[in-house]
Structure 1
Amino acid sequence: MAEQLDLVIITGMSGAGKTVAMQSFEDLGYFCVDNMPPALLPKFWQLIRDTGSITKIALVIDLRSQAFYDQINEMLAGLENTAFVTSRILFLDATDDALVSRYKETRRAHPLAPEGRLMDGIQKERALLQELRNRAQVVINTTDLSPRQLREKLFHTFKSSDHPTFHVEVMSFGFKYGVPIDADIVMDVRFLPNPYYVAAYKPLTGLDQAVYDYVMDNPQASSFYDKFYGLLAEIMPQYQQEGKASVTVAIGCTGGQHRSVAFAERLGKALAQDFPVDITHRDINKRKATVNRS
């Protein structure tokens, strides 16, 4: 395979934030695998090389036993002799007090002390992982980090310039088909004149220039658009700072073919000047016969 594989091994103390880390790496565009037995790695590498489409991988590895730890060391030694893989170890740590508090909150048993004292499991794990911690290129202490702060730290450390970590989804829809349940912001444009009642525009959609102009040339639409876009332009960076991976803005009209489509098109193209944007029209091809549209 021509392209180099970027491999990040996520490991560390149980309860130190590996689940948050894996979710963060998924948003960074990594192919993530949780708790793969090291013995399966040779077949996994071969599968990755055969596909040729995966270049960023994050493996989450927990310490389950001394035998498992020995396999991890063998795996790492093998990677050092593999030319097509560039590997980094991310080790997540936290103080004993913090780990105890987190285990108490979740009421989970420690994997190395399923029936014993929690501190015994933590101390045993810390001793077994010491060599792996010493080999890690990146060590993050999560004692005083919230999940959002850990996510931001990982983004700052591992983000590549070719993969944006925040994007905007702009969607048009028809209220008669239901409000999208995944929308973060919903706006109703049914107050605008409806092209459906213009015979020439009825079979068209907001993607047709004549319908788009009919909707957006209206003074009400122009004024409303300026205010709504100004609001979104102000709050999107704040969503980004809060660590959201995406924000979905849903624009609705009655049937989702005319007004909402035109409005979503203009809004999406404007937001695309500052953010990665996907524009979708959920109901543009749906037509329902109605008895009374008055």
Structure 2
Amino acid sequence: MSRLLVALLWVLHWLPLPLLAALGRGFGALLFHLARSRRHVAEVNLRLCFSEWTEAERRAVLREHFRLLGRSILERGISWFAPAERIRRLVRLEGKEHPDGVRAQGRPVILLVPHFLGLDMGGTRVAMEYDGVYVYSRPKRDPVADRWLNWGRSRFGDQLQVARQDGIRPVVRALRAGRPLYYLPDLDYGRKESVFVPFFGVPAATITGLSRLARLTGAAVVPCVTEMLPDGKGYVTRFGEPWADFPSEDEVADAARMNRWLEGEIRRMPAQYHWVHRRFKTRPPGEPRLY
């Protein structure tokens, strides 16, 4: 099945982006009805994170999320197969002076990349600018899909991929060697190396790797968020200003700061966050399951 999907993405990547985006939105509307377990996860997440919204407001964001999810799946073929010139046209970079300024000072750079639906397209575009380092999980359920996801992030430049299971040392060496780290620390990775800090007011298992890596290497943390533009108009990857006074002496406070920053980004484009992930799967001792 995965090989058929990859073949389909290769065929579809030749289409103009507006047409491909329309097909993707239709595909996402179909997923809304078929992917019931993932829809349930997203429903729970939105209810927990936006309890102040009406049910109608949450439902509208949920439906739009699945339309954009469909887009992100079908448009992934562009990041896997399209030539560099096309990707440069479709993905605009803003704020590149921020990571470039840090690197000019001789400091390592950690690009803080939250799980918005455009992150793979943004990752491919960023790889055209920097020979970086990526952290990935070794294939579990679908090695074909994992292989192509890693391919999309590494097909341009000299990209170093490090398995999460290999620990922190290869990443530290790469940062110290001058490779920017494309870092995605905002999912639920289990209890190990996690602390419980609020995410939209709900205790969420959050890894402390961002703080630890910045402390070990002296790296600056530069936010990097990719937004899907409407109507097939492309993407924009925005680099923010380097975080001041980070890391602190308190890894828990640093993790909470990351989540607060992420909340602000999500409120700016709530339908584009990766709500189908079980963000609150790991619970504090004694608390019931949420999914």
TM range (shorter): under 0.3
**TM-score normalized by the length of structure 2:** 0.23
Q: Which has the higher contact order (CA 8 A, sep 6+)?
A: 2
Q: Flag the structure with larger Rg.
A: 1
**TM-score normalized by the length of structure 1:** 0.23
Name the structure where helix makes up a greater proportion of residues. 2
